[in-house]
Chain A
Amino acid sequence: MLLEMRGITKTYDGGVQANRDVSFSVRAGEIHALVGENGAGKSTLMKILFGLEPMDAGEIIYKGQKVRIQSPEQALEMGIGMVHQHFMLIPSLTVAENIVLGHEPRLGGGRFDFARAVRITRELSEQYGLSVNPQARIEEISVGARQRVEILKALYRGAELLILDEPTAVLTPKETNDLFVSLKQLIDRGHTIIFITHKLQEVIAISDRVTVMRQGRTVGTMNTADTTKEAISRLMVGRDVLLRVAKPPAKPGKPVLVTNDLRAKSDKGNEILKGISLTVHAGEIVGIAGVEGNGQSEFVEILTGLRRATGGQVKIGGQDVTNWPPKDIRRLGVGHVPEDRHVHGSAGLASIAENLILDRYDQPPFAGQGLARFIIRPKAIRSFARELIDRFDIRAENELVPAGALSGGNLQKVIIAREFVKQPQLLIAAQPTRGVDIGAIEFIHQEIVRQRDNGAAVLLISADLQEVLALSDRLVVFYEGEIVAEFTDTAHLTEEEVGYYMLGAWRDRTQKGESK
């Protein structure tokens, strides 16, 4: 064994237990896939290994010796390198400069030996078959090339064990193939690779062994050759307790949200939505299942006016609202619970009351009418806020407390209150219960069902498979920017079955209402 991690336990300050007694071992010279749902604890485990997070208990044995890794520099010294999902590169510097940064070759007098940096880069690049142009600036090269730079950077620092955190998430299929070829070459040269991924066909294609994590634990390690995508998928999504939400059958009405062949590019410029056509009717909850990063966030951003579509059409209540500004879309009666309550959902330094009036501060009764329409009425705002605090059970001393002082669950309730109280015709809820305590989860679920029963069309996006399964009347699965499956009968649907599509084990077999 090159690496053994035993009994690793880690609890974050907020009380989230990310790793519970995890054991994980890697053989020299293998590609070891580490898989698991979002929040299963893979990243935490790797952060501990790379010295980015301290562990509460457990031990790490590397090359037969018990080690303590307290910083990335220490990890690198031992020969452990990591390529992060978000590249750590300096855009205006050249490839060669980025690779040697921090350990630069020198001429006398503190001079930087650029020629040698280029030579080093070229040699490394040829040695490992990772082709890059040493003199190109990072800002000029493709995402795939940037990733090769990151790998070369780790190799230059002497990494023997290489951790790749979801390396294919940002790559095109062609780039993914190239990467795999290079990884094989790395193995031939005596390196070892830990490969974090969500995509099961990649596990099958590239790895020698695979370890599955679920809810902070390792639930199995096997030889890839002896297993199947289905078996891995079952291990990943199987759950002890099933979440149940009591809800009467849906009575779908007329279509409220219709998207037609919707297309978009991500911030990095790759095609993130490849033609999404989806309809949500009044009185039904449509769930979107999928591993994060498969286009759900961008889909929601387009629906709510925060991102431009590059093609296709969005209709809400019969109106073509493609690329409308957020204000106009909201005015049509669209409620939106954003996926990150701190980034978009709230203004931490503003009071609860001010957070609650975000999209109605300029309308009666909060603002006057006619000439007084620019005047805000604090009394109306405060009584409105008190009412919502009461009705949505927000635990705060009063309505003037800054939103940033609230706990995660209470802050989420503020957002839910704001978006739900206006009785939207379309409600878009992204990760509505992420990082929220059990009590609040139940409450939020009930409120979502109540909105549906009041006739709202509800679009629910969640990385938590249990949640989408429990709440949705209809379910679609996003995979790499496409809808790869649609289920109209969710009552008897199992996590395993959805899991196969989410993880890419099965695809393009869109079945309508024919689940078991």
Chain B
Amino acid sequence: MNGDRLRRFAAEALGIVVAFALAIAVGMVLVLLLSAEPGHALYALLIQPLTSAFYFGNVLERAIPLIFAGLSVAVSFQARQFNIGAEGAIYIGALFGTLIALYATFLPGPVHQLAVFIAAIIGGALVGWLPGWLKARFGANEVVSTLMLNTIAIKFTSYLLSDPIRDKSSGYTQTVTLPDQVLLARILPPSRLHTGLFIALLAVVVTYGFLYRTTIGYEIRMVGINPRFAAYGGIDHRRAIVLAFVVSGILAGLGGIVEVVGIHQKLIENFSPGYGFDGLLVAIIARLHPLAVPFAAFFYAYLRAGAAIMERESDIPQEMVSVIQVILILFITAEALMSFFRKRMNRRTEHAR
């Protein structure tokens, strides 16, 4: 890496690190104020996830859906489309995949599993395509259409789970356990960490390749950076926008089915506690770069897992981390703050020269 790039990277990184430090510091202050045994709580939050394979497995298993959702958001935000429909695509991807898992049992094992993923991809693509097409064709506001689609997707899934595909022998609104052949293997028992992690990491590489190594990715990024430049160069911005939405939907849909066949092994009502929105925050922390997404997701998951341990081991409930998360996001998105770091960094390097 050459000097100029390094400097810019360092400025960016410094800003993010300071934001992290501040956010965690606020979290620590909260713990100190509220806990009778603050040292214990902080140890549980920050260190304990590293102390056993089980805990670490928890961190990684929580990171998987966040990676998918983060990638999903990163792709459409790079096209400067405020697509917040990842949550809906997670549900529809999970639903389509589950339907194939439940009813296409006549397929041989590996084919069946593949079919499940393809179904999830199709489901995600459809949910992504609709608001994308409405935006590109008619200029329909994507924030609203995706928010609406989220709720429709969740309610539709709930409806199917309430009766048509429900496991009637169970007291819960969920399906029966899916056939073994479509489930993902557990790799770090007793944690639920599963091979979906590798699918997620593969998705990171593929998304990076898509955005930075394909013509369509180039089109998407240029439309995002400067639509008029793209138009001047002859790029079809409508196509680029629709494709960004579709790819975004596919990634979220995959995230949905991976969670189902990896963690829950059945489709459960409201199984996503807002991964789509968490994904948005992950993508923002990663500054929309696919290769940074797994790190941001890991950090996010680490906090959540640490918080869960803290809750068991001390008197602080795990939701305390939502304070850390929001402070982090507010700092990172505050353009004024980040550009302050960029300027400081530039000034310092100028002095150095």
**Residues of A with Cβ closer than 8 Å to B?**
304-306, 325-331, 336, 338, 343-350, 354, 357-359, 361-362, 367, 373-376, 378, 397-398, 400-401, 405
Residues of chain A with a CB closer than 8 A to B213's CB? 375-376, 378
Distance to closest chain A CB from B267 (angstroms): 34
Interface string of B225-252 (1 = CB under 8 A from A): 1101111111110000000000000000
Interface assignment of B170: CB less than 8 Å from any CB of chain A: no
Tell me the residues in window 183-235 of chain B with beta carbons closer than 8 Å to chain A beta carbons. Answer: 212-218, 221-222, 225-226, 228-235
6 residue pairs of the A-B complex, CB under 8 angstroms, read A327-B236, A343-B228, A345-B229, A347-B230, A354-B221, A375-B213
Distance to closest chain B CB from A373 (angstroms): 7
Tell whether, in the assembled complex, residue A347 and residue B215 are in contact, meaning their CB atoms are under 8 Å apart. Answer: no
Tell whether, in the assembled complex, residue A350 and residue B3 are in contact, meaning their CB atoms are under 8 Å apart. Answer: no
Tell whether, in the assembled complex, residue B232 and residue A376 are in contact, meaning their CB atoms are under 8 Å apart. Answer: no
**Closest 10 interchain pairs by CB?**
A327-B234, A358-B233, A347-B225, A326-B234, A344-B232, A347-B226, A362-B215, A397-B4, A347-B229, A349-B225
Tell whether, in the assembled complex, residue B222 and residue A347 are in contact, meaning their CB atoms are under 8 Å apart. Answer: yes
Partner of A350, one of B216, B225, B234, B235: B225
Tell whether, in the assembled complex, residue B236 and residue A358 are in contact, meaning their CB atoms are under 8 Å apart. Answer: no
Tell me the residues in window 4-36 of chain B with beta carbons closer than 8 Å to chain A beta carbons. Answer: 4-5
Distance to closest chain A CB from B335 (angstroms): 13
In the assembled complex, the Cα of A400 lies from the Cα of B225 at a distance in Å of: 16
Residues of chain B with a CB closer than 8 A to A329's CB? 234
Residues of chain A with a CB closer than 8 A to B226's CB? 346-348
For the A-B complex with A304-B232, A350-B225, A358-B222 known, give 13 more contacts whose Cβ atoms are closer than 8 Å: A305-B234, A326-B232, A344-B228, A345-B229, A347-B222, A347-B229, A357-B218, A361-B215, A373-B215, A374-B216, A375-B215, A376-B218, A378-B213
A327-B234, A327-B236, A350-B221 given as contacts; is B229 within 8 A of A374 (CB)? Answer: no
Interface assignment of B2: CB less than 8 Å from any CB of chain A: yes
Distance to closest chain B CB from A435 (angstroms): 18
Nearest B residue to A376 via CB reads B213
Distance to closest chain B CB from A363 (angstroms): 9
Residues of chain A with a CB closer than 8 A to B221's CB? 350, 354
Residue of B216, B221, B234 with highest tally of chain A CB at under 10 A: B234
Interface string of B30-44 (1 = CB under 8 A from A): 000000000000000
In the assembled complex, the Cα of A354 lies from the Cα of B217 at a distance in Å of: 12
Nearest B residue to A326 via CB reads B234
Residues of chain B with a CB closer than 8 A to A350's CB? 221-222, 225
In the assembled complex, the Cα of A328 lies from the Cα of B216 at a distance in Å of: 18
Tell whether, in the assembled complex, residue B232 and residue A338 are in contact, meaning their CB atoms are under 8 Å apart. Answer: yes
Residues of chain A with a CB closer than 8 A to B215's CB? 361-362, 367, 373-376
Partner of A326, one of B2, B4, B217, B231: B231
In the assembled complex, the Cα of A330 lies from the Cα of B218 at a distance in Å of: 18
Tell whether, in the assembled complex, residue A375 and residue B214 are in contact, meaning their CB atoms are under 8 Å apart. Answer: yes
Distance to closest chain B CB from A339 (angstroms): 11
A330-B234, A374-B214, A376-B214 given as contacts; is B229 within 8 A of A358 (CB)? Answer: yes
Residues of chain B with a CB closer than 8 A to A345's CB? 229, 232
In the assembled complex, the Cα of A441 lies from the Cα of B69 at a distance in Å of: 49
Tell me the residues in window 65-118 of chain B with beta carbons closer than 8 Å to chain A beta carbons. Answer: none
In the assembled complex, the Cα of A398 lies from the Cα of B225 at a distance in Å of: 20
Nearest A residue to B209 via CB reads A375
Nearest B residue to A330 via CB reads B234
Residue of A331, A344, A348 with highest tally of chain B CB at under 10 A: A344
Tell whether, in the assembled complex, residue B234 and residue A336 are in contact, meaning their CB atoms are under 8 Å apart. Answer: no
A344-B228, A345-B229, A350-B225 given as contacts; is B218 within 8 A of A361 (CB)? Answer: yes
Tell whether, in the assembled complex, residue A354 and residue B228 are in contact, meaning their CB atoms are under 8 Å apart. Answer: no
Distance to closest chain B CB from A176 (angstroms): 31
In the assembled complex, the Cα of A348 lies from the Cα of B262 at a distance in Å of: 42
Distance to closest chain A CB from B3 (angstroms): 7
A326-B231, A326-B233, A375-B213 given as contacts; is B222 within 8 A of A400 (CB)? Answer: no
A344-B229, A346-B229, A374-B214 given as contacts; is B4 within 8 A of A401 (CB)? Answer: yes
In the assembled complex, the Cα of A374 lies from the Cα of B235 at a distance in Å of: 14
Residue of B213, B217, B233 with highest tally of chain A CB at under 10 A: B233
In the assembled complex, the Cα of A306 lies from the Cα of B226 at a distance in Å of: 15
Residues of chain B with a CB closer than 8 A to A361's CB? 215, 218
Distance to closest chain B CB from A83 (angstroms): 28
Residues of chain A with a CB closer than 8 A to B236's CB? 325, 327
Partner of A306, one of B3, B5, B214, B232: B232
Tell whether, in the assembled complex, residue A348 and residue B228 are in contact, meaning their CB atoms are under 8 Å apart. Answer: no
Nearest A residue to B226 via CB reads A347
Partner of B234, one of A325, A357, A367, A378: A325
Nearest A residue to B213 via CB reads A376
Residue of B216, B217, B235 with highest tally of chain A CB at under 10 A: B235
Residues of chain B with a CB closer than 8 A to A346's CB? 226, 229
In the assembled complex, the Cα of A37 lies from the Cα of B155 at a distance in Å of: 64
Distance to closest chain A CB from B288 (angstroms): 11
Tell me the residues in window 114-150 of chain B with beta carbons closer than 8 Å to chain A beta carbons. Answer: none
In the assembled complex, the Cα of A362 lies from the Cα of B218 at a distance in Å of: 9
